[in-house]
Amino acid sequence: MDAALVQQAVLAMPMARTIGLEFVSLGDGRSEVEIPMLDEFTFVPGRLQATAVFAIADFAAVSAAGTLLPDGAANATVDATIKLFAPAAGVALRARGRVVDDARLLTVCAADVYAVDEAGNETHCASLLGTARNLLPR
């Protein structure tokens, strides 16, 4: 599916707008997205709660999967596992999604999440492995 259509569909979602999701790049089974560090999503000052980390990882992975779908199709997460291994602290979170394997019914996708500091340095803080159900046009 055209990357612009995938981006439009994602940014139409209230959750994406609420967390301030922005696309850095999208296309050909890959994506890069960012969200700002918002106090509303922290569990202690300066550290994002795991829900926000999961959300950006899920958006990155499933958006990457969406770029390989035919026009008129859609997809939805049916399974995901996230591993958190460093604090999500800084000024933004950046996630890079990719397709691991795509098939007609299901696409396995993944994302790596990085905490970004004021200097632009990245700390790898989480990885997600997910499965998206492909909803093909009839």
Q: Please tell me what DSSP assigns to residue 45.
A: T
- Looking at residue 138, what is its pLDDT? 84
pTM: 0.96
Question: Can you give the three-state secondary structure of 52-104, one letter per residue?
Answer: HHHHHHHHHHHHHHHCCCCCCCEEEEEEEEEEECCCCECCEEEEEEEEEEECC
Show the domain range for 53.
Answer: 3-135
Q: Find the mean pLDDT for residues 100-119.
A: 98
Residue 48's CATH number: 3.10.129.10
Q: Considering its fold, how many domains does the chain have in total?
A: 1
pLDDT tens digits, one per residue of 72-85 = 999 999 999 999 99
